[in-house]
Structure formats: structure tokens, C-alpha cells
Structure 1
């Protein structure tokens, strides 16, 4: 199990990235945040490591000539505390 974290400018780009990733691999969105009135979007996906690596690499390639993509990372085997934060919004 892994999580993929995307942080991108603009709400519409967040929709496009989510659509691309979810059509490409078997995963689900477990958390999202809108900052700066929707101008900065963070989306967290849960899936297996290899699938998320493929999808995140594709997103990096898609946005490599822009400054819109701020973060695109995969965390393999995330700690339970981090997962609880993403699912419930609180650290325990």
C-alpha cells in the first residue's frame, strides 16, 4: 500500500489530475485540501506502490514545462498516524 500526493495550482488542474490518475490506475482519493481560495489543491490517493509510481510519473511528465505542479510524490507503506490524519483529519 502507498499514497500518492499531488499539490497543484488551480482547482480545474486538480480535477484534471484526479481524472487522469484514476483512469490510469486502480486507486482512490482519501484526502483533499483547497488552499488560497482554490488556487492551491492537495490531493492524496491510496493504491499500490507500482501503480501510483506510474501515475505520478505521468503527471510529472504532463506538467514538466509548467510551474503549476508543486508536489508529486509517492510514499510507500505510510505510517498509520498519517493514514488516520488523511482519513479522519486528526493526528492521534
Structure 2
């Protein structure tokens, strides 16, 4: 799917501590949204949290289009400041 004007990317928390909380994509101090490229290792673990795998975009539309490739996860936060990484099939994208 190709997105043209995304206004919000969000998900609902699932863990014991964050169950039901809304997590949204918010820009960082440099006004960019942060995604992490999915790069599996030989032992099937994930290196998505490593700094060299971070990708920065200026708009939610760019973020949604990268997520739609299923090659990235996006950084989301809740009001309490807890961070979550979510893949395309786990987020709600509003246009």
C-alpha cells in the first residue's frame, strides 16, 4: 500500500505494564521520526535496536511507506515515556 498523507501512526500496548496504553509515533529532538531496519543475524535474533540500523524520516507518510515494506519497525512512545518498537502489521495508520 502506498500512503499519501498520514496524520498518525499508533498502536495499543500489550504487556502487563502497558496493556491498553496508546503508543504513538513522535518526532525526536531533530524533528524526525525514527525507524529501525530489521536485520536478522545468523542465530535468528534481531539487531533492530542497534544504532547503525536506525533510519530517520521527516514525515509520518515517509515512515508509513517504509513500514509497509515490512523491512522496518517504528519507534512509538506512550505518555509515560515508555518506548515500543512495532512492525507494520501491529500499528494503525491514519490518513
* TM-score range relative to shorter protein: under 0.3
Q: TM-score, normalised by structure 1?
A: 0.26
Q: Which has the higher helix share?
A: 1
